Chain A
Amino acid sequence: MRLEYFQLIDRVVDINISERRISCEATVPSVSTVFEGHFPGFPLMPGVLLVEAMAQTSGWLVSSINQFKRMSFLASVKEAKLRTFVLPGYVLNIESKLVHDGSGYAVLDAKVKNNGKQVCDATITLRVMEFPNQELAGEMLKMAARVGLTPEMALNG
C-alpha cells in the first residue's frame, strides 16, 4: 500500500472476467505518518482506507471488463462493516465481484480478508464513464501495469 499516494493495491492476484471477480493483495505498511495520528500509541489502519481499498479493487475489475477504455469513480458505499482492527504489517486479500453492470454504473460486493478471516466488507457502486482526459487514461494504464494488470489479462482473465 502506498498510503501517501492513496494507491492501496499492491498487486492483482487473480482476475476472472467471465466470472466477473478479482482478487488483489495489499500489505499495510509497518510505518506511515498516517499511524502517527491514527492513533498515537495504537497504530490502526483507518476504516475509510479499507473502504477505499475495496473501491480500488472493484475499479480494477470494472476497468478490466471495459478493457481500460472507461474510468470508474466511487459513487456510493453501502452496508460497510469494519469487523476487526487492521494493524500495520497485515497482509490483506481484497476481493470484489461484480453483481450488476448497469448503464454508466456498476455495483460490486467487496470484502477484505487477513489470514483467511474477513475483516471488512461493503457494497460498492461505481460510476463508469469516459476518461475525462487522455493524461488520466495513460496514467491508469501505467498504474495497472504497476499492480500487474495488463490489457491482455483483462481480455484473457
Chain B
Amino acid sequence: MSSTFETIANIIAETCDIPRDSITPESHAINDLGIDSLDFLDIAFAIDKAFGIKLPLEQWTQEVSDGKATTDQYFVLKNLAARIDELVAAKGA
C-alpha cells in the first residue's frame, strides 16, 4: 500500500499536470507547486474520495486568516499527509 504522501503526490501530479518527481514531502502546494485555490478544490475532492474523509478546508483557511496557523501547517505536503492521517484515524476511532 502506498503511503499517504505518495497518494497525494500522485493526485497532485495527475490533477495539476505537475511532474511527479518535482513533488517532494517538503513541497508547499501553493508557494512551491503554484497550485491555486480552484485546482486545490479538485485535489481536495480526490483526497476526500481516496481516503474517505472530508478535508476541513474552510476551518484551515479560517485559522490561517485569523493568524492561528500558518499555511505551512496544512499545505507543506508532509504536513498535509499528517493531517490526512489524523483525519483517517479519527474516522476509524
Contact = CB atoms under 8 A, between A and B. Distances in A.
Pairing of A with B: yes
A75 B44 CA distance: 14
Nearest to B47: A102
Nearest to B56: A103
A149 interface: no
Given A103-B55, A103-B56, A104-B57, A125 B41 contact: yes
Given A100-B48, A100-B49, A102-B48, A76 B42 contact: yes
Q: Which of A75, A100, A102, A125 has the most B CB atoms < 10 Å from its CB?
A: A102
B22 interface: no
B58 A104 contact: yes
A28 B90 CA distance: 49
A127 interface: yes
A125 B44 CA distance: 12
A102 B38 contact: no
B44 A103 contact: yes
Taking residues whose C-beta sits less than 8 angstroms from the other chain, chain A's interface range is 10 to 19
Interface string A104-138: 11010000000000000000010100000000000
Interface string B30-74: 000000001001101100110000111111010000000000000
Contacts, number: 35
Taking residues whose C-beta sits less than 8 angstroms from the other chain, chain B's interface range is 10 to 19
Contact of A76 (B41, B44, B56): B41
Contacts of A104: 57-58, 61
B38 A103 contact: no
Contacts of A101: 54
Nearest to A130: B58
B54 A103 contact: yes
A103 B55 CA distance: 7
6 contacts: A76-B41, A76-B42, A102-B41, A104-B58, A104-B61, A125-B42
Given A101-B54, A105-B45, 12 more contacts: A76-B41, A100-B45, A102-B41, A102-B44, A102-B45, A102-B55, A102-B57, A104-B57, A105-B41, A105-B44, A105-B57, A107-B45
- CB-based closest 4 A-B pairs: A103-B57, A104-B58, A103-B58, A105-B41
